[in-house]
Amino acid sequence: MAGFTRDELSMVVDETVDFSRLDGIAKELVMEVMEKRYDGYTFSQYSDERIFCPDMCLTFLSDLIDTCTIPQKLADSNSGMDADRLGGMLSLSLPGAREKIGQAIFRKESIASDIPDTLNLNQTGSFSQNQTVSLLAYLGFLTIDPETSNKSGKMHWRCPNEVCYRTFVECEAETIGFRRSGGLDLSGVTERGDIMPLVEETASRIAELPASAFSGFNERCLQIVFYYTSMDGNDNFLQPELECDTGSRGRADLFIRNRRNGGRQYLLELKYLSEAKGTEAAVASKLAEAKDQLARYRDAPNFKNVKNLDCWAIVFVNKEPKAVEKLV
């Protein structure tokens, strides 16, 4: 009713999937994909095991059996995990609460919050942080973080899995009026190790945003536009990851894997300044900060075995890239 443990889901896979019909797809891969997409729910801070969302797992397995390939779609359209629904819930919260929750989700961090006894849905636009977290938790967008809760003694909540995280990122993109458009020519990025086609296309897309987007445009928004732009190349070689974990060195803004044989991989540190604050001195300071972060990240254990890694520090002022520098 509440979800599958890993052992239970493993049993379901054994009973339903005929791997002799799946070319090159092993059970380990199926479990790994489902763990990343649908695992991570915890309903008690004392729990020592996470559970999988059941309906998403069953939809995934049904599609796998029907098509004999790993489903590319993260969630079924009827799952309730969509950006419009999430945006509607976040719009109920006070601006400060929405920003604090949004920042925590985006950075893949937990957020401390008590759970109130009741929710009054007539409180349009005035939900507190606790009330908003409660709503998101009850509808599956957040779950208890036992490790942080037990360490701090206060209840903490986090985004459980890839489906929820991607839904949030899509919601953030829609909030600033960003719309994707595929078929971009990013061959310079995939084939020649030239970052500028991606930078220039990102700047072009930012310039097309509605004027209302720039009242709250920030570094997080810049990361999201870069993220989706790199996904929209016509060759599908680039695979970006937002807030990439570097282990003990923090989180990098954007790591872009290149599936092209021998292609360059990219680690980007992005900085954003408004037009009013974008002085030469401020740009230089942000550039230096980005380069210091990159130097720390590229030596992290998580990147030790990444081949052909290029590190780029990029500073935008309003709609324009004012500094683009490769770390030597």
Banded pLDDT at 124 (limits 50, 70, 90)? low
Q: Say if residue 116's pLDDT is above 70.
A: no
Q: Say if residue 118's pLDDT is above 80.
A: no
* Mean pLDDT of the 86-108 span: 92
Banded pLDDT at 203 (limits 50, 70, 90)? very high
- Of the listed ranges 57-61, 123-127, 190-194, 230-234, the least confidently predicted one is 123-127
Say if residues 199 and 314 touch (Cβ distance below 8 Å).
yes
Q: Which amino acid is at 41?
A: Y
pLDDT for res 79? 67
Per domain, the residue ranges of the chain are 6-67, 83-166, 183-326
pLDDT for res 114? 82
pLDDT for res 42? 92
Q: Is 124 helix (H, G, I), strand (E, B) or coil?
A: coil
Dist. CA 250–CA 294, nearest whole Å: 10
pLDDT for res 189? 96
pLDDT for res 168? 96
Higher pLDDT, 110 or 77: 110
Dist. CA 177–CA 212, nearest whole Å: 9
> How large a percentage of the chain has pLDDT more than 90?
75
Neighbour tally for 264: CB within 10 Å: 18
Dist. CA 4–CA 35, nearest whole Å: 11
Q: Say if residue 82's pLDDT is above 80.
A: yes
* Mean pLDDT of the 286-314 span: 94
Range 133-140 contact pairs with CB under 8 angstroms and sequence separation of 24 or more: 133/101, 133/157, 135/89, 135/92, 136/86, 136/89, 136/101, 139/80, 139/85, 139/89, 140/41, 140/53, 140/80, 140/81, 140/164
Banded pLDDT at 46 (limits 50, 70, 90)? confident
pLDDT for res 81? 79
Exposed, middle or buried, 128 (CB in 10 Å: 0-12/13-18/19+)? middle
pLDDT for res 173? 96
Q: What is the DSSP letter of 309?
A: E
Dist. CA 222–CA 294, nearest whole Å: 17
* Average pLDDT taken over every residue of the chain: 92
* Mean pLDDT of the 271-288 span: 97
Banded pLDDT at 169 (limits 50, 70, 90)? very high
- Give Cα separations from 313 to 4, 102, 186, 245, 300 (angstroms): 43, 24, 19, 18, 17
* Mean pLDDT of the 213-240 span: 94
Dist. CA 153–CA 137, nearest whole Å: 19
* Mean pLDDT of the 114-141 span: 81
- CA triplet 25, 29, 32: central angle to 5 degrees? 160
Please give the model's pTM, rounded to 2 decimal places: 0.90
State the residue for tokens 């109920």.
Answer: 92
